[in-house]
Structure 1
Amino acid sequence: MAGDRFLAKGVTRTKRQRNGRPVSKGATSTGAKARSRKATKGSDESGSDSDAIGDIESLEHRYGPNEDELSSEDEDEFLETAADKRLRLAKEYIGKVRTATEQHSGEIDAAQIDRDLIAERLMTDAKERTGKWSRRIADQFLYTVDKECLTELKQGLRGVVTCAAVTPDGKFVFSGSKDGSVIKWDAHNGKRIWTVKAQRKQKGGQAVAAEAGKKKAVGHSDHILSIAISSDGQFVATGGRDRKINVWAVRDCRHLTTFHQHKDWVTGLVFRRGTNHLYSCSADRMVKMWNIDELAYMDTLFGHQDSIISISALQREQAVTVGGRDKTVRLWRIADEAQLVFRAGSTTDQHRLTKSLADSAKSDATSALDLNQATRGDIARHEDLLRELAGQEAELHEGSVDCVAMVDEETYVTGGDSGALSLWSVQKKKPIFVQHAAHGMQANADGSQSTRPRWITALATVPYTDLILSASSDGYMRLWRMRDGKLPGFDLVNVIEVGGIVNSIDVKEMNGTNGGDRDVLAAKRDLVVVASVGLEPRLGRWAKGTARNAVKVFRLLAAKPQHK
């Protein structure tokens, strides 16, 4: 090969020589001189200086970056180690936190900011990255929630409200109902801003525009069952019985696209926090993933043996679903292409009721709290109900799991037709705690108490905190506090009257105090809770309420905890 001058010339020429650039003086390093000596030695052995191919080091040198074209910034980045990069990113992050803090700190001096606020923010962010709940906020909402905290949205509502969601800034609310309409509301004054009415159907089932000659109609042609808003507040997605998912722009309410891939009712929608990835679940037993930035379909997950009723997700690339009558809870680890199956279908019998009463007696967590009178009365009535059920040796079987909400990346809660509020952990296949008959028992036609518990129809959490919200057909929304310690469980901290059957709950934690300027380091943050209240359940007509269809917005101000 050394004798072939065509091959030899093609390899031995350096990159600079091929480009016609001369080698600058002083660019030759010790390594270059060593490689030059090696090349000279090889050429002497082969008998030709120009025909030598050279060794691997010279090849690496020839095809490496051009030192003349490297800027000082590129050289610093090229020479930066992994430890240096982590240090640089940490300094940049602290600088951003310092800037945000100084903008919203008021009269706090820089030393106090450095010692307290920045340290608290860094610790909070670090805990949230671990995926476990770390903040205790439930004690801030013990007061009686009156009409001053409520804004009722009901202008022009005709169908049963099945779902509602609030934007991250708490300014707007989107709702969907059984008449197929989507409405955008002003959350502060309760005025209706924008409405998309339901499409009409032809006999063949195809939706058509309301008037001939107009542009193609958008929207739904059947009941809307689910709604979700992205964490950046740019997109809102709606799904319904017409098997479609419609995506809209939040700001100008412009229709972006429609997805038709589901084969049955779209029962649940959720956006992954921090991204515009949308997860959907359906009665066709499939979970689908969508990239809303690209308006594209991503993937499908299989596993449930019955209709999927509800779905929840947080920051990690995973989601939790409940399969209705198949009585399973599934955690989908999307990146690993795996799923964890948890068996629900708990039974409430005398032994479990007695144990629940004993555990409540051991835990004096609520005795030290300054609970309002309505909450204390509800706790007393619930304990009396459990004693009565234990004396009757009643058994309540969970036949369907209907709703799920994630507390953190490893903990979540579920509710179903047995009225039991279950707390789950990825470490165990069974619930680690069950709050039996959380919303009491149904009433008979004559007003007497029946033997059937009230279904839990809606669940929501404030992610990475100890606050859980549940609702049923009793016309009340309950706020629960997760216990911290070796004895897991829930403690009731507040009861809010909403009236009617609550079909969905959405809650957003506001940055800032009393809805004011955004303060990323605020220790106490107000909550905006949106409840969709209807005369009928979301997925059927087996129950009837008495309240008027409405969307109710509660602004819960973070009060100072009166007891530690």
Structure 2
Amino acid sequence: MPFFKSSGPSKAKEQRARKQVKTVPSAKRKISSVDRRLATTLSREEVESSSDDEEVKRWKASQEDDDQHVEDVETAQETKERLAKEFIQELQDHRVQQIEDTVDDVSVQQRLREEVLESEGRLHRKVARQYSTAAENHTTQILRCKKFQWKPITCIAINHTDNSIFSASLTGCIVKYSESGERLGVIKSSHQDPDHTTPRHCKEVLALAVTSDGKYLVSGDGAGLIYVWDAVSLEHITVLKKHRGAVTGLVFQRNSHNLYSCSSDRLVMEWNLEDMAFVDNLGGHSCGVQAVDALYRQSCISCAGADQNVIIYSILEDKQFQFTSKQISIDGVKLLNENTFLTYGQDGSVCLWSTSKKRPIQQLKVVHGNRKSGAKEPHWITALATLVNTDLAATGSSDGLIRLWRVNSAGGGRLHALARIPIPVGVVNSLEFTADGSALVVALACSHKHGRWYVEKTAKNCVLIIKFTGIKIKAPVTRSLVQGDENGEEMSEDEDSEDKLQTYDNGA
């Protein structure tokens, strides 16, 4: 028997149970802490592995860059070749720039020189070949004013600043048209408007002229009076009185207000419209003067019909130069340039002249044919126009045709037929080109302006505008300087192709 009393198995079991109760949570806590450490370790390993992958990628990329850099590295020979190519390219660019600058300078100088020469009337453009197909490529427009101009149209004038057209009639009336054909104004005669207080023409108007700047319009009538009008508003300015016969011709010096007039009193006179005054009596012919013309120089040229003479009045030198023709009469004269002019007459002939020769260079007879088949009476040449400082001229008669001519003033001078333009029946009393050569204005009437020697009863008194399509005078063309250039040189286009053009046959 033990000394002490045993507490029995229940107490020992109870103590072990308590220990177990205390031990189990700690074990669980140990397990959970192990799990946390393991999870942390795994996450660290994952982060380290991902960073290692990135480092590997960066390393590979750097290796590729290094390889590329190694490939891009030039050798010494390649560097020399590259630098040589760059140097050559720089030289080429510099050379191209120099050429462009030189071309620009030359073109500017050439353009300025041409403008100066053109303003002085010494620039000659060769444009006639553009009109060789004018008979097919043209349009016509008829302008009529039956209320005020029921009698024959005697003359026309063009204001080259706006291409407005002035027409005069035997009624003493002047009508102004726009380039499109619209009637812009009328200057009535004293018979048509007797109540008007300002001076008006009381007789037929036979001549018109407009200044180069489009400021003044002048008109001469059968009473020997020259009326000055404002070309824009058509207001009357003054009357110039000196002639004792009908005023048959008027012309302004280009780029000036100097006016030249001719009359049936056999005199040629000079006027100045700056002062509205008479300047000088230049002399005259042995019979009534029929026509007068002028360009840029202070001189004029005139013809007098039956005396068969053409006179050039050099005002600065105070001299007269006389030219004689074998034509029956010289009814009109037109300057092509300062050294070349053309005349026409009742025998149907056209003559080409040079100021350096007293006789015609060339004379073409029966240019517009005969009045009747088999008859020897030719169609009179009643009008002639020139496109100033070019090689183009036009003639008109009563045969229903306008004929265009190419004028070769070099190499002895030749006239070449270019085209025939059909027009309505009538007598051509006046012809004039527009400044750009795009149109030809015709004064068409039933009879001649100086008399009724022959009458076309079916003809209409009108203004006819012939517009050329496809004509580009301002396009690049071969240009030459006419004689009298400051250097005395002559730069003309090749005339070898001249023989390819059809020359005029007198039997045409």
User: Residues 117, 151 of structure 1: CA spacing in aligned structure 2 closer, same or farther, 3 A cutoff?
Assistant: farther
Deviations 1:112-168 (A, max 9, x none): 972564344245346547755621010111224469622211133311101011110
Alignment of 1:389-428 (within 5 A): 398-428=327-357
User: Residues 484, 315 of structure 1: CA spacing in aligned structure 2 closer, same or farther, 3 A cutoff?
Assistant: closer
State the match for 2:275 in structure 1: 294
State the match for 1:186 in structure 2: 178
Write the distance in 2 (CA, Å) between the matches of 1:410 and 1:456: 23
SS in 2 for 1:469: strand
Counterpart amino acid of residue 131 in structure 2: F
Determine which of 141, 153, 177 is the counterpart of 1:151: 141
Q: Are 2:402 and 1:528 aligned?
A: no
Does the 8 Å CA contact 2:301/2:310 hold for their aligned counterparts? yes
User: Residues 111, 436 of structure 1: CA spacing in aligned structure 2 closer, same or farther, 3 A cutoff?
Assistant: farther
Q: Are 2:474 and 1:544 aligned?
A: no
User: Residues 306, 552 of structure 1: CA spacing in aligned structure 2 closer, same or farther, 3 A cutoff?
Assistant: same
Structure 2 unaligned regions, length at least 5: 1-98, 478-496, 499-508
State the match for 2:132 in structure 1: 142
Write the distance in 2 (CA, Å) between the matches of 1:507 and 1:417: 23
Range moving further from structure 2, 501-510 or 281-290? 501-510
Determine which of 402, 427, 430 is the counterpart of 1:504: 430
Alignment of 1:226-375 (within 5 A): 226-344=207-325, 346=326
Counterpart amino acid of residue 451 in structure 2: G
SS in 1 for 2:448: coil
Deviations 1:53-72 (A, max 9, x none): xxxxxxxxxxxxxxxxxxxx
Does the 8 Å CA contact 2:269/2:283 hold for their aligned counterparts? no
Does the 8 Å CA contact 2:187/2:234 hold for their aligned counterparts? no
1:537: how far off? 0.6
Alignment of 1:432-451 (within 5 A): 432-443=361-372, 448-451=373-376
User: Residues 230, 481 of structure 1: CA spacing in aligned structure 2 closer, same or farther, 3 A cutoff?
Assistant: same
Identity value in percent: 31
Write the distance in 2 (CA, Å) between the matches of 1:199 and 1:148: 38
User: Residues 124, 437 of structure 1: CA spacing in aligned structure 2 closer, same or farther, 3 A cutoff?
Assistant: farther
Counterpart amino acid of residue 194 in structure 2: A
Counterpart amino acid of residue 401 in structure 1: I
Write the distance in 1 (CA, Å) between the matches of 2:446 and 2:101: 56
1:325: how far off? 1.0
Counterpart amino acid of residue 267 in structure 2: M
1:306: how far off? 0.3
CA RMSD in angstroms, aligned pairs only: 2.5
Does the 8 Å CA contact 2:154/2:168 hold for their aligned counterparts? yes
Give the structure-2-normalised TM-score.
0.69
Instruction: Give the ranges of 4+ consecutive aligned residues of structure 1 lying more than 6 Å apart after TM superposition.
Output: none
Counterpart amino acid of residue 555 in structure 1: K
Write the distance in 2 (CA, Å) between the matches of 1:259 and 1:485: 41
Counterpart amino acid of residue 449 in structure 2: R
Write the distance in 1 (CA, Å) between the matches of 2:242 and 2:310: 23
Write the distance in 1 (CA, Å) between the matches of 2:233 and 2:175: 13
1:315: how far off? 0.2
Deviations 1:23-54 (A, max 9, x none): xxxxxxxxxxxxxxxxxxxxxxxxxxxxxxxx
- What is the count of residue pairs matched by the alignment? 374
Write the distance in 2 (CA, Å) between the matches of 1:322 and 1:485: 24
Does the 8 Å CA contact 2:406/2:416 hold for their aligned counterparts? yes
1:456: how far off? 1.1
1:408: how far off? 1.1
Does the 8 Å CA contact 2:383/2:430 hold for their aligned counterparts? yes
Write the distance in 2 (CA, Å) between the matches of 1:506 and 1:176: 14
Q: Are 2:397 and 1:468 aligned?
A: no
1:197: how far off? 1.9
1:111: how far off? 5.0
